[in-house]
Structure 1
Amino acid sequence: MSDQQRETTQEEASSSEQAQTLVLNNNNNKIHETSTATTLNEDSDSDGEEGNLQHHHENPETFAPIPREKLEFDWDNPVLDLAHHPHEQIGAGYPLGAHLQYLDLTNCRLRKIENLDHLKNLETLLLRQNLITKVEGLKNLESLKHLDLYGNQIKRVDASELNSLTNLEHLDLSFNLLRHMVKGLKLPKLRQLYYVNNKIKEIEEEATKGETDLPSLELLELGSNRLREIKHLENFTTLKELWLGKNKITEIKCLETLVNLTRLSIQSNRITKIHRLDTLTQLVELYLSENGIEVIEGLDNLTNLVLLDLAHNFIKSLDHLSHLTDLEEFWCNDNQIPTFKEIEKLSPLKKLTSIYFRSNPIYDDPQYKRKLLLIMPQLTSIDGFPVIKK
């Protein structure tokens, strides 16, 4: 569960690459960070839809209002699901009763957010996979808790269009054309904020400090952008999950104040050294796969770790892990572990039940599984396959 959050953003499965497939905010990063992050952004400055919004068509046709007689809905129901019913205008040819609490307009080829002002009871609004270019028409939705704008053509967001949504808890701006995080957001109840697969190159101070006030934020997902540096996150001390996978980050830093983090993903970056994590003692899951790490270090204080993902690095030794006595799942496939003497260093980890060591030199040993079980008889899963004990 990304970056909330493997090839992870749903390919999302037994290797570090498979485990990154983002169903957004899946509890397992391997499935989290690709729900949202299956498409990598390139350095090109093109604003076109190519690559970033592959599900859209360049010249959408115009759609007439939906004939009401063709829609078989209970119009008195507080839930209205019009997903995949293309039409030109919200509310064209069908009623939007003020009693509505849930409205799904996913993939309706809509270009504009409009005709919603009277929906004072609306709590969930899904506008995924449309052709929307501007965030507007939402100021009166005072009950709104969940706003999903994933997969549109939005290039910028004015915070003034959102700051009246004082009950908003979940905001998804993933798979758009944003070059900047929203500056000046003041949403007292916002808990989850997604920016996956945009064109963001920098975490700007104006988006995290100053007039920006997000006192309840627990999850920030910035996977599959163009970030080169972690910075300006010091004020987000309430964060429990931070997903930064599939960027171009070269160094772990500026996380010291995020002492409430339980999940951290910096996988698929350019990290070469594990350090500056000493204050993150509440971490339960740490994802550092697909980097340039050669030495396991810097984990001394992370004794609450349950899952550690170091797959697809250049690791030759399994030192500095024996103190992680709560560890249950360890991904170390696609590294350079040379002998089973290294595996023996994991024998103190009695809670460790799931390991991944395929595509290491030891994997070529014909007695690979048997030797692993001799060292760690408690294992229930090896390389994603259940252990069948006779």
Structure 2
Amino acid sequence: MLVESAEFSESKSCDSDLGMYVLFMAGAMPSEIGLFLPNLLELQLRGNKLHGTIPSSIANASKLTLLDLADNSFTGPIPMTIGSLKNLQKLDLGHNQLSSESYTPELSFINSLTDNRNLRKIVLSGNPLDTMLPMSIGNLSTSLEYLELTNCKLKGSIPAEVGSLSSLISLKLGNNALTGGNELSGSIPECLSNLTALRNLSISSNRLTSTIPSSLWSLVDILAINLSSNSLQGSLPSGIGDLKALVEIDLSNNQLSGHIPVSIEKLKNLVYLSFAVNRLHGPIPEFLDLAVALEFLDLSRNNLSGVIPKSLEKLHYLIYFNVSFNQLEGEIPSVGSFANFRAQSYLMNNALCGAARLQVRHCRTKSTGKRLPKTILLLTMILLPVTASICFLSP
């Protein structure tokens, strides 16, 4: 029996000595569950209606390589005994109601995992852990590829020891309250540049301040960067154009200033770009159309000036465009994707002009006819009668 006092509703399961996957299950896990699963390699109970605490006896399922209890309603601290599962490669406890140990301000559970050299994935996202990341996080397996703790009520700073996780592909610490040691300000640690295997970095919706470390732009193989909704300052370096593999970058809702680097045009794989709600000024780069894969471009609520480059009409995949609340001027492009954008894309740019449907002023029509200079016309008016008179008086 897997679950005591459980209520089943069309329960479906697949189990063997190799793995167990169960759907439509409700109730509490029995305290001795691990004793019955000594040879199990994979236990997947994701997306059920399980509640109560995670039994510490789970450690007796010593051959487990995958433990997935995500999307349930488990409560209480994460059992330290999980750390004794030496074969564990993937641990997903995301989106429950798990907490940290009350006797320590740090997530001590991390300490229990430091002897596991096989761990490749840890997901704790969506649990109200309300704690700090310990320095021992740097002692996790060097094989670790995914570390995800979004929306966990984390506080304190990002430990510099994270930079020791040399195989990390995805680091997600978004939607927390991460700050510096004084809980008033903090910065993105320089050590992140050591994570040369990193492909996805998300530290959005925290309380980070200071500038973005220049070393971050040395992660030339990174695919996605999300630093949105912090209080980051400073300007964007031209080195951003060296991230040739970049697909998504979101730096919105910060306090970034300076110009948009012209080097952005080098990002041929870029699909999503948002620099919205910052203090950027100057023009929109004229050759941004060279970022040919762009689908989403949001530069709204800055201090950008000049015209919207007509060359952007060449962005054939563009489906979202927003430059509202800037100081742009001139005629709005109208060809290609720009035939589909609405007035909301251009709000509060009083010097823009274009089609009436965009709720901007009408552009003055440029005359196509060629006019002679006034001096030539004047000379013609004077000389023509004189010439006629001479011809008339001539014998």
1:193 equivalent in structure 2? 122
Alignment coverage as a number of residue pairs: 297
Give the structure 2 partner of residue 217 of structure 1: 144
Distance in 2, Cα, partners of 1:64 & 1:294: 53
2:271 matched to which residue of 1? Answer: 329
Deviation of 1:281 after TM superposition, in Å, equals 2.7
Q: Deviations 1:15-52 (Å, cap 9, x if unpaired)?
A: xxxxxxxxxxxxxxxxxxxxxxxxxxxxxxxxxxxxxx
Listed as ranges, the gaps of 5+ residues in structure 1 are: 1-61, 74-78, 81-96
Q: Tell me the amino acid that sits aligned with residue 89 of structure 2.
A: L
Q: Of residues 62, 79, 104 in structure 1, which corresponds to 2:22? A: 104
Q: Distance in 1 between matches of 2:218 and 2:301?
A: 32
Contact 2:262/2:285 (CA < 8 Å) preserved in 1? no
CA shift in 2, pair 1:98/1:328, >3 Å? closer
Rounded to whole Å, the distance in 1 between the matches of 2:112 and 2:205 is 30
Q: Is the 8 A contact 1:264 1:285 kept in 2?
A: yes
In structure 1, how many angstroms separate the alpha carbons of the residues matched to 2:31 and 2:218?
A: 43
CA deviation map 1:340-361 (0-9, x unaligned): x622355264334223327436
1:37-48 equivalence runs, <5 A:
none
Question: Please, which runs of 5 or more residues in structure 2 have no aligned partner?
Answer: 101-106, 179-185, 323-335, 341-395
1:118 to 1:155, Cα distance in 2 relative to 1, 3 A: closer
Q: Structure 1 stretch 135-144 or stretch 249-258: which is displaced more? A: 135-144
The equivalent residue for 2:90 is 169
Deviation at 1:155, TM superposition (A): 3.4
1:145 aligns with 2:65: yes
Structure 1 residues 192, 373: CA separation in 2 closer, same or farther (over 3 Å shift)? farther
- State how far apart, in whole Å, the 1-side matches of 2:78 and 2:11 are: 35
The answer to whether the Cα contact below 8 Å between 1:343 and 1:375 also exists between their aligned partners in 2 is no
Residues 1:274 and 2:234 aligned together:
no
Partner of 1:261: 198
Contact 2:76 2:98 in 1 (8 A): yes
Q: Structure 2: which amino acid aligns with 1:227?
A: K
Q: Is the 8 A contact 1:246 1:267 kept in 2?
A: yes
Q: Look up the equivalent residue of 1:311 and give its one-letter code.
A: S
CA 1:384–1:174: 2 relative to 1, 3 Å: farther
CA distances 1:259-306 after superposition (whole Å, capped 9, x unpaired):
211110111122342114144232121111112235442561652322
Pairing partner for 2:292 from 324, 344, 351: 351
CA shift for structure 1 position 71: 5.5
Distance 1:334 1:255 in 2: 24
Residue number in structure 2 paired with 1:24: none
- Aligned 8 A contact 2:118 2:141 in 1: yes
Query: Secondary structure of 2:284's partner?
Result: helix
Match for 1:145: what amino acid? T
Instruction: Tell me the SS of whatever aligns to 1:331.
Output: strand
Percent of counterpart pairs with the same letter? 20
Q: Distance in 1 between matches of 2:78 and 2:6?
A: 29
Map of 1:19-34 to 2, 5 A cutoff?
none
Normalising by the residue count of structure 2, what TM-score does the alignment of the two structures yield?
0.62
- Matches of 1:338 and 1:274, distance apart in 2: 15
Q: Residues 122 and 147 of structure 2 are in contact (CA less than 8 Å); yes or no, is this contact kept in structure 1? A: yes
Match of 1:292 among 207, 231, 234: 231
Rounded Cα–Cα distance in structure 1 between residues aligned with 2:177 and 2:223: 24
Q: Partner of 1:246: helix, strand, or coil? A: coil
Paired AA for residue 98 in structure 2: L
Match in the other structure for 1:76:
none
Distance (Å, rounded) in 1 between the aligned partners of 2:40 and 2:205: 41
Deviates more, 1:125-134 or 1:238-247: 125-134
1:126 to 45, 54, 74: 45
Q: Distance in 2 between matches of 1:261 and 1:139?
A: 31
CA contact (8 A) 2:6 2:28 kept: no
Quote the offset at 1:323 in angstroms: 4.9
Which structure: larger Rg? Answer: 2
What is the distance in 1 between the residues matched to 2:238 and 2:23?
A: 45
Q: 1:158 to 1:175 in 2, by over 3 A?
A: closer
Q: How many Å separate the matches in 1 of 2:146 and 2:164?
A: 13
Please give the alpha-carbon distance, in whole angstroms, between the structure 2 residues aligned to 1:64 and 1:332: 47
> Where do residues 56-95 of structure 1 align in structure 2 (5 Å cutoff)?
63=5, 79-80=13-14
One-letter amino acid of the counterpart of residue 123, structure 1? E
1:303 corresponding residue in structure 2: 243
Alpha-carbon separation, structure 2, partners of 1:155 and 1:100: 29
Do the aligned partners of 1:146 and 1:169 also contact (CA within 8 Å) in 2? yes
**What is the aligned partner in structure 1 of residue 347 from structure 2?**
none
Deviates more, 1:378-387 or 1:281-290: 378-387
- Quick check: 2:56–2:81 contact (8 Å CA) kept in 1? no
Structure 1 residue 157 corresponds to structure 2 residue 107: no
Give the conservation status (yes or no) of the 8 Å contact 2:94–2:125.
Answer: yes
Indicate the SS of the match to 1:138.
Answer: helix
SS at structure 1 position matched to 2:285? helix
Q: Aligned equivalents of 1:388 and 1:324: distance in 2? A: 19
Q: Secondary structure at the match of 1:234?
A: helix
2:175 paired with 1:246:
yes
RMSD across aligned positions (CA):
3.7
CA pair 376-138 structure 1, distance change in 2 beyond 3 A: same
- Work out whether residues 322 and 345 of structure 1, in 8 Å CA contact, stay in contact via their aligned partners in 2: no
Q: The residue matched to 2:164 in structure 1 has which SS?
A: coil
Larger RCO of the pair (alpha carbons < 8 Å, separation 6+)? 1
C-alpha separation in 2, matches of 1:153 and 1:118? 20
Q: 1:377 to 1:173 in 2, by over 3 A?
A: closer
Separation of aligned partners in 1, 2:309 and 2:238: 24
SS at match of 1:375: helix
Do 1:154 and 1:177's aligned partners in 2 also have CA atoms closer than 8 Å?
Answer: yes
